[in-house]
């Protein structure tokens, strides 16, 4: 969470998000893959990466962002003392004069900002008892999302959200989209 956090050019998630986009670019370049049927699915960090890719790559057939981590950094850092967000707070506790610099860097990787650019159909899930990806941060990404969207809310679940039920929803949606 803090590797290279002093600058957007060196921040760890820059490379990770770039790699995720390159996976989709590679899929588009393979003749055996139907470019109109590319779907992105991820949970937690993968859910955040799904939102980042959806905001950076046009024409994704569907996005499944389960408990998307990396959303609404300012709020997440303020309300949870769970890993991995607490790593940023611990860093700032000893680098007190870098708060603005860190906030500036994180703004480039906040999935709320990618959600504002995303127009593909999306299915989100959230566990209302999730201390890892706090529900309000997931809702921030969901509310910012520009494309058609659906949210599965699991009132008594944590970071696993709907687990197998989320899988069933995904399979149902995919069967409807591609039948």
Instruction: Give me the active site residues, please.
Output: 44, 130, 159
Encoded tokens for 104: 């500036």
Using DSSP, how many helices (H) and how many strands (E) does the chain show?
Answer: 8, 4
- Long-range CB pairs of 79-83 (<8 Å, 24+ gap) are 79/134, 79/136, 80/131, 80/132, 80/134, 82/131, 82/132, 83/132
* DSSP structural state of residue 123: E
Cα angle, residue 9 at apex, residues 58 and 35 outer, rounded to 5°: 20
Q: In terms of DSSP bridges, do strands 62-66 and 39-43 run parallel, antiparallel, or are they unpaired?
A: parallel
* Residue (of 79, 23, 81) closest to 52 by Cα position: 23
């Amino acid at each position: 969470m803090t590797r290279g956090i002093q600058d957007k050019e060196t921040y760890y998630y820059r490379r990770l998000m770039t790699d995720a986009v390159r996976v989709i670019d590679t899929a588009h370049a393979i003749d055996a893959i139907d470019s109109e049927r590319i779907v992105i699915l991820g949970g937690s960090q993968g859910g955040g990466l799904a939102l980042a890719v959806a905001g950076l790559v046009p024409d994704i057939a569907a996005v499944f962002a389960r408990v998307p981590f990396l959303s609404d950094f300012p709020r997440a850092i303020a309300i949870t003392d769970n890993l991995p967000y607490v790593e940023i707070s611990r860093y700032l506790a000893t680098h007190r004069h870098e708060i603005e610099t860190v906030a500036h860097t994180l703004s480039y990787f906040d999935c709320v900002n990618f959600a504002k650019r995303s127009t593909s159909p999306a299915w989100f899930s959230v566990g209302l008892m999730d201390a890892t990806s706090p529900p309000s941060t997931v809702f921030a990404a969901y509310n910012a999302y520009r494309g058609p969207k659906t949210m599965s809310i699991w009132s008594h679940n944590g970071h696993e959200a709907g687990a197998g039920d989320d899988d069933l929803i995904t399979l149902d949606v995919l069967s409807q989209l591609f039948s």
